[in-house]
Amino acid sequence: MLNDAQVEFFRDNGYLVLDTPVLEADQIEEMKERVLQVTRGEKSGADSVSNLVGDEIEGSDHVVVQIVNIWQADPLFHNLIYQANITEMVSQLMGEDTVRLWHDQIQYKPPRVGAPTDWHQDHPYWPIIQPADLVSCWVALDNASIENGCMNVVPRSHNWGAVPGGLRGNENFQPTFDDESFLPADARLEVVPCEVKSGCCMFHHCLTWHGTYYNRSDIPRRAVALHYMPGYTRYEPDGRGHLVEEYVEVQPGEVLRGRHFPTVRENGQALVPGAVTQSA
């Protein structure tokens, strides 16, 4: 559970780093191994949606492995999305008693060849859901440091709205804006690296500008991002689509729910995998 100061920090800054573990030591080791297994195409569950960003892993010097919905491919990650200590904090940060999973995403930068993920806001990549109130919990499996490509955020940028064009990283990954006229007059372009210890996590709002740099170190950087929606989030397709849209079973304008978008908390109670919910 978070204290009031942590919730206030998140509301003001659009991110929060937590240096107390949310995972147990054996859970971390198993998950690290499962990420490598799923990356090799070995999975124990049903369908998963995977996309490899960068070139083929073998022989490439520019790799980010991103696996969407590993919770559907692996029981350990299925349990993780329901983990009460995580969903409780997410619910506090949202100020909302009912929470669903939008999707999860493995983010793996292999040693030495891990490529950057440029500065971005998440919600513009999620144009089929509204409003832009989602909160992500980014769980480090390896220690995430500046050397192996930890998360960087621009504090308070979640208050700037969805900025068209937006930020670009220069050769040192320092961000500059395409067109500063979209920014509020008091906007400050400060960058905060968020180093996160293995088994700990950080949270970010879906409009917070963030990005990750190269992993040129000898240490892998495996993490899983859990993207959660407040219970009132609606399916509002705008024609631009999304990777998981084929799993949507509700009509435009309806609350996004269903077996591919599991309810993990309802009316303030943590749910367990397979729970029958009032709201599906």
Ligand X SMILES: O=C(O)CCC(=O)C(=O)O
Q: Applying CB under 6 A, which residues contact ligand X?
A: 107, 117, 122, 136, 138, 210, 212, 223, 225
Burial class (CB in 10 A: 0-12, 13-18, 19+), 219: middle
Alpha-carbon distance values, 277 to 55, 238, 259, 274 (Å): 42, 29, 11, 9
Cβ 192 to ligand X shortest distance, Å: 15
If the CB atoms of residues 87 and 212 are measured against ligand X, the closer one turns out to be: 212
Handedness of CA 47, 141, 107, 189 (dihedral sign): positive
210 vs 260 by CB, closer to ligand X: 210
Query: Minimum CB separation from ligand X for residue 50, in Å?
Result: 16
Minimum CB separation of residue 114 from ligand X in Å reads 8
Tokens 């740099």 sit at which residue? 213
Q: Which is nearer to ligand X, 208 or 266 (CB)?
A: 208
Closest to ligand X by CB, 192 or 275: 192
In whole angstroms, the minimum distance from the beta carbon of 88 to ligand X comes to 20
Smallest distance, Å, CB 69 to ligand X? 14
Query: How far, in Å, CA of 224 to CA of 222, rounded?
Result: 7
Residues 6+ apart with CB under 8 A from 60: 54, 113
Cα–Cα distances (Å) from 212 to 59, 83, 108, 146, 148, in that order, read 22, 26, 11, 9, 9
Which residue from 95, 40, 121, 38 is spatially nearest to 72, judged by alpha carbons?
Answer: 38
CB of 211 to ligand X, least distance (A): 7
Nearer to ligand X by C-beta: 149 or 231? 149
Q: Identify which of residues 107 and 263 has a Cβ nearer to ligand X in the complex.
A: 107
- Name the residue among 126, 141, 136, 63 with its Cα closest to residue 99: 136
Looking at the Cβ atoms of 222 and 260, the one nearer to ligand X is 222
User: DSSP letters along 44-55, please?
Assistant: SSS--EEEEEES
CB 181, min distance to ligand X, A: 26
